[in-house]
Structure 1
Amino acid sequence: MIAALLDRLRQGDRNALARLISLAAQGEGLAELQASLAANPRSARVVAFTGSGGVGKSTLIGKLIPLVRSQGHKVAVLACDPQSPLSGGALLGDRFRMGSSTDDGVFIRSLAAQSGHGALADHLDVMIRLFETVGFEVIFLETVGAGQGDVEVRRFSDVVVLMLQPETGDDVQWEKAGILECADIVVVHKADLPTTEQTAAQVRAALDLSPARHVPVLRVSTKANTGHAELWQTIHALPLRRQHATAASLLLESAIAWFKERYQAAESRHDAELVKLIEAWQRGETPTEIAAQSLLNTLTRAKP
């Protein structure tokens, strides 16, 4: 079935694309998908947007889509929403906030963020490769919120845009979470509010503590319709991190992701061998090096 869907995908079938994304989200056929897509070039510019709920991530992405399309780029959006406690699917659902589009150059999909990741859906890497296969040149990722789970989004993206807004105390939260260290661009959204410049100054002061890299701080207002073009220009000027990654670093990232997924699956099953191993390490009966090797052996034998 996967092979047939991939054949249809390469012919430009959007229904096949939607079906393959659903299969990837459910964790079905992953090995076959990864093997089939491995040789594809990392051709898309992947931009992740993170920030507290209500900061306007979807609204901003909705403004950027026509701007990017006007330059002839195909745009995909993977929006990670809270998981519904009843259905297990995305709580807000497809296209709820950005609106539907009849433009074949735009594809928007909502995904349920899994409890293990917090801010992200599972298997985003496979979904990104699917979009790249059919020529989507820009992929926007939207996380559920801002927290430690968002740090992982850097692995999937070329650019991480951290969104803040004035008058919310976000400055305390992002300093605690360490999210600022992962941002390539900081956007002070709702820049029509009166304390915008104060918030921007606080961000710049925090960034000055790490002068080794330059992180632009931009003010954007969707209400006043200002700053969107400058934001896209800034995004487009940054290097494509995924394309410049070495094979060794990509392998290491993939191995870590595999390890975490296996660990989370074993933990959710209350795997007896895993529990015994962790308890022995906590009591000091097993050295860390031996416990780590035993953990790897346990997860390798376990069913995914």
Structure 2
Amino acid sequence: MVLEKLEWSSLCFRFIFTLTNEFIQDTTNNISTMECYLSEVGLINKEYFTRSMYMGAIFGDIRVKQGSRKILTAKYVRMIFDFPPLLDMKENEIFDQQWCESVLNASLPEGVEISIWSAGQYERDLLLTAIHTKRLLPVLVVVLCAFSVISSMRCDFHLSKSILSLLGLLSAGCAIVSSFGLMYLFGFRLIQIALIIPFLVLSIGIDDMFIMISIWQKNLRISEGASIKELMRITFEESSTSICLTTLGNIIIFSFGTISLFPVIRSFCIFCVVSLIFVFIFQMTLFGAFLALDGNREIHRTTFAECYIFYIIGSIIALTMNFEVGLQLSSLVPYDSM
């Protein structure tokens, strides 16, 4: 796509297929009437065109004649070019980029500066924000892990829940990965603002984890000699109500955002709703299983060293294996798997 000899009449002066800039259109039609409808600030009655035009959004830093509203000078002029959108999104981005570059590279008279903004600037700004935010992701993960581990530590090693808290983070992380994979499977595009969803959902998963751990430890002190099945039954019975109400409230709140007119907000809320549902399922099933295993260790006063060693060995084996099919994001997209 080559842009040559850019002129107003060839780009945006047509009336049927493109919108026009009122100020330039009128001045191009009749230059002699320029002073007539520049003589007022605000709503200007143009006798030659029998209609009014608001000039406050066009000129900036103006100086008017003393005792009147006649404009003498203006340091800023705003020019709006409304182009018809192209059907192909890629071509639309290329045209937007080349248009901005052509305007910035244009030769200007001395003392004249140009600043531009386009619809594609939103995407570029979000992309830059995402790139800068990615640098903080490892720090946030370390902080969440450290907070969970330190909050679960006890003086008695057998009563400490540090490893269990890490498993709770792992359970919530698996839920987020599963929800994002499901959204990819149904063709939803991952937007840049969705990068904050994992930390938003992780905080809710950590809250559910601490609720279950707190109820378990309370019942363990009260019901001495109770079996693991009885302790798990009481733990789920007391924690399920609080977790269900919290999750249901969050889902309802984000569900209202799914009917928003803005596609970004709608997509963000859909990702949040699906992630919250998966986190609830994983915390009540996978983390519940981890809690039962840790409870068995706690009751029998054994250490977690054996389980931790098996976990390290399994992780090393999984990371060294080469999964060529099934774990690639491209295989989750329907049209790529055909």
TM class, shorter-length: under 0.3
Compare the two structures and name the one with the higher strand fraction: 1
Q: TM-score, normalising length from structure 2?
A: 0.21
Q: Pick the structure with greater CA Rg.
A: 2
Compare the two structures and name the one with the higher helix fraction: 2
Q: TM-score, normalising length from structure 1?
A: 0.22
